[in-house]
Amino acid sequence: MSTPEFAPLVQHFAKVLLEDDYWDTTDMWGLIPCYGSAIRRLAESGDPGLLRTDAEGLKEAAQGDAELERRLGAELKQQEPIELWRRLNGLRYTGAAVNV
């Protein structure tokens, strides 16, 4: 996850996903446009904007070490695209339940 290729690769796959037109046209299930927006943000900025960082928790975990706090924050940010992929993968299961 911490390789230099990670962010460009994630952004590339986000752009590939955006080639499909259902992200904006699937009104019957609100999660699709919601995740489409997250994919768009990921493709444009590298940040899907799904998670909030607990700044106080980071400070506490770093115990006053500013460099450690920065590294922990960066690690959490790198987990965000992975969380988006996990949620997208879960759509096939929750979608089946909605369609029953």
Please provide the DSSP assignment of 57-90 as one string. Answer: HHHHHHTT-HHHHHHHHHHHHHHHHHHHHHHHHH
- How many Å apart are CA 78 and CA 75, to the nearest integer? 5
Instruction: Report pLDDT for 97.
Output: 47
Query: Would you state the pLDDT for residue 100?
Result: 36
Alpha-carbon distance of 33 to 18, in angstroms, equals 11
Low-confidence ranges of the chain (pLDDT < 70): 1-2, 93-100
Task: Tell me which DSSP letter residue 51 carries.
Answer: -
pLDDT score at 96: 46
Q: Can you give the pTM of this predicted structure?
A: 0.76
- Tokens 């752009």 — which residue? 15
pLDDT score recorded for residue 2: 60
